[in-house]
Structures are given as structure tokens and as C-alpha cells.
Amino acid sequence: MNRVLDELLWRGLVADSTDREALSAHLDAGPVTSYVGFDPTAPSLHIGHLVQLMVVRALHAGGHHPLLLVGGSTGLIGDPKQAGERVMNGKEVVAGWVERLREQMSRFVELDGPNPVRFVNNYDWTAELSTLDFLRDVGKHFSINRMLDRDVVARRLDSGISYTEFSYVLLQSLDYHELYKRHGCTLQTGAQDQWGNITAGIDYIRRTERAGVHGLVTPLLTKADGTKYGKTESGTIWLDAELTSPYAFHQYFLNAEDAKVVEYLKVFSPRSREEIEDLARQTAEEAWQRAAQRALADDITDLVHGEAERKAAEAAAAALFGRSELAELPEGTLAQVAGEVGGGELAAGAELPLVVDALLAAGVVDSKGAARRAIAEGGAYLNNQKVSDAEARLQDSDLLHGRYAVVRRGKKTVGMVRVRR
């Protein structure tokens, strides 16, 4: 078995591929040019995209030549979704997202040196392609019957699917064909839901070039209940710090389920097999220590946001729950936390607000009466200090960076308020 392919298999990054033995031999035969595509349908990459970048990193480390395709043209169309028709974004919006995604991806790959990862944009070969040429040179090689058999298309037939989305597979197949001709690309990788598009491109190259090329897809990451991993009640886990803060990002992976955490470690962590197997043992024997979760959260946050942001996120979590000093947190970190733990704003009049009002505004209690009961029972905290007086007011010395206060009910229910003067 080829070394890179063996590593991808062990890390659970292969759901399906073209002939396994042939692919292994192809990778052994010499440096292979591969590609994976990213459509700019949002201003940031998310966790699902990071899975694909981990495959790219593994191929590149093995001496191969990955291409990262940013879909300036396919991003204007959108791959069909099972949920329904996509909203088409404007050309200027998509062009801006192309550049944002290129900038994001450049942080995860090597763009310099003797074997740089290269970017390509399918707008370069589709922008000037006429409708007649597209129909004659591409469309004639595709069977409507086979297109209708694609899972996502079959599911959308009852609710309706536009010709635009129906034709997406032709554009992606054209991409593989163009990269084969221009760069000698012989391997396309992607997520499992791209398998139909990838095999269509393989078939198109076989028909037109009489050449055999390869495909490999990763499994979709799921939680133990089968739902998609990388989604929360508040939305997608993005790689952009402005959309998902480093604090929220780190916390998300700290909360990984015992049943799945080793699977996620294999995908996202650079740790060796021996290290990950030891963490698997610790999870089986001492799950309460959550060693694997800490390793996962640290490794992936270091990768996406850098070690400094990860340490700031850890410090914020420790300070929120009384394990270190809140006053030592930078204002930027407090602002991140405020956006994640929730809370409200209070206006200061001649005097600062009551602590009771702060507890209510922060959302840790649902009424002033509940706030007073929490104080009376010894379960209310202001900046990790127990509050004993129901008539106590915030003081200037309580306001972190002059405007933030952290309130807590019990051990785990935390919120923040911002005081407006």
C-alpha cells in the first residue's frame, strides 16, 4: 500500500475511491498532480473544508503536487443541495469571496519552495466559453438518464430543480478535464457528497482523452447521533475568527463526544499514531480526564487560529469559571467571550446598576426574583466573587476594562453585561 494512501486510510479520510490498488500504484509511480475544489458560496471556509485541506496537506507532505481550485464560475451556480435551490450571489460578491477563500487557504499550505501548492480558478476557462461550444464539446458526452440517477437530483425532482443546478456536474467535469490537459492532473479529491461529480469527470476524461484518472472522497464527519459535525444551534463553525471566535472554536472541540473524539483527532491533529492511540486508551479508561478532547481542541485551534489565540481562549475559559483572574484578560478576548456566552447591555445613570439587574440582563436568571433567590442561596457571583447582598450595586472597580462585568449562577451558568455610560 502506498504510504500516503495508507496514512489517509488510517486517519479515516477515505470513504471511497477508484480502484484502490491502481490508485496506490499510481501514487507510488511518482509525484501525482491532484486537485480539490472549493466554491465561494460564503465569505469563509468551514470545518468541512478543513477536512479537504488535511488531505491536501497529506498529499503535499508525500511529495505530490496539489492544486487548490477556487470556483469563480461554479460559485456563481452552486452545487445542488438536497434542501432546495440555492440563492445565487452577485458576480462582485463571488469575486470578493474567491479572494477571501484564497487568503484563508494560503495559511494551511506551502506556497513557496521547490514544490508549492498552486491555486487555480475555473473562471479562467469558463468565462469565454460560448453556449454552443459548451453544449457541443461537453454536453454531448453526458447522458440525461445517468444525470437523473444522481442521488441529489433524484431527491429534488419532486420539489423541483433548475436547469442551472442540474447542469452543475458538467461544469465540475469540465474542471477536471481542463486541469488534466493544463497541469497533468490525474487525481481529484473531495467530500463524499462529491462522488457523483468526481466520477462524472473521470468518465468525461476517459471518453474524450482515452485516459484513466482517479478519484478519492472523504467521509462526512458526523456526531454520534448521525447529525452533521461542525454545526451548532447558532450555526456553522467557520474558520474566520470574525464569524466564529477562537474562544467559541476551542470550546466547540473541547465538547467533542467521547465516542467520536478519537475519530476527529485522526482527521485534524498532526499527532502520530502512537500518540493518538494512547489518547484513545485514555478515553476508554479515564474518559472523565478528557485528555483527547483537550488535545483535539488545542491542535485544531493552533492550526486554524495560532497558538497565541488558543492560549487566550484557554485563559478566558479558566477566568470565566474562577480558575484565574478575569482582570488579566485582554479587552479583545473579553469582547469575544461576551459574544459567545451571551448577555446584554445596561445603562448607567447617576449610580451603576444593581447586581440583580446585571444577573437578569446577562440571562443567567429569568427574573429579578430569581436573581434575589440565587443571592440568598449563595449561588450568585460577580467576577467570580460571591454576592451576598441583594441590594448591592456594581462598582467602578467591578467593570473590567471600564465596561464589562461577568456574572454567574451556580457553577456553570455564565453571562456578561456591558455597562453603557
Percent of the chain with pLDDT over 70: 97
Residues of the chain with CATH 3.10.290.10: 324-420
pLDDT in tens, 320-373: 877 778 888 888 888 888 878 877 888 887 788 899 999 999 999 999 999 999
Largest CA distance in the chain: 83
**The pLDDT of residue 407 is above 70:** yes
pLDDT in tens, 373-386: 999 999 999 999 99
pLDDT in tens, 130-172: 999 999 899 888 877 777 777 777 676 777 777 788 888 899 9
Helices 246-254, 307-320: inter-axial angle, 10-degree rounding: 70
* Segments of 192-307 assigned E as strands: 214-218, 231-232, 235-236
Average pLDDT over residues 102-117: 93
Give dist(CA 13, CA 217) in Å, integer: 8
Grid coordinates belonging to 301: 485551534
Per the listing, cell 495508507 goes with 6
Distance in Å from the first CA to the final CA of the chain: 67
123 is annotated as contributing to ligand binding: no
Q: Which residues contact 189 (CB under 8 A, 6 or more apart)?
A: 34, 35, 36, 52, 55, 56, 59, 215, 216, 217, 218
* C-alpha Rg value of the chain to the nearest Å: 26
The enclosing H or E element of 154 equals helix 151-156
Grid coordinates belonging to 97: 469571496
Grid coordinates belonging to 229: 459535525
Give dist(CA 416, CA 344) in Å, integer: 7
The predicted structure's pLDDT at residue 149: 72
Average pLDDT over residues 194-201: 93
168 is annotated as contributing to ligand binding: yes
Does the domain at 324-420 match CATH 3.30.365.10? Answer given as: no
The highest-confidence range among 158-172, 296-310, 392-406, by mean pLDDT, is 296-310
The predicted structure's pLDDT at residue 5: 97
Q: Are the CB atoms for 33 and 183 separated by under 8 Å?
A: yes
Q: Which CATH class is domain 221-305?
A: mainly alpha
Q: Lowest-pLDDT range, 18-27, 292-301, 379-388?
A: 379-388
The predicted structure's pLDDT at residue 172: 93
172 is annotated as contributing to ligand binding: yes
Nearest to 57 by CA among 118, 110, 120: 110
**The pLDDT of residue 3 is above 80:** yes
Per the listing, cell 452545487 goes with 79
The predicted structure's pLDDT at residue 93: 94
The CATH number of the domain covering residues in 3-220: 3.40.50.620
Q: Are the CB atoms for 41 and 132 separated by under 8 Å?
A: no
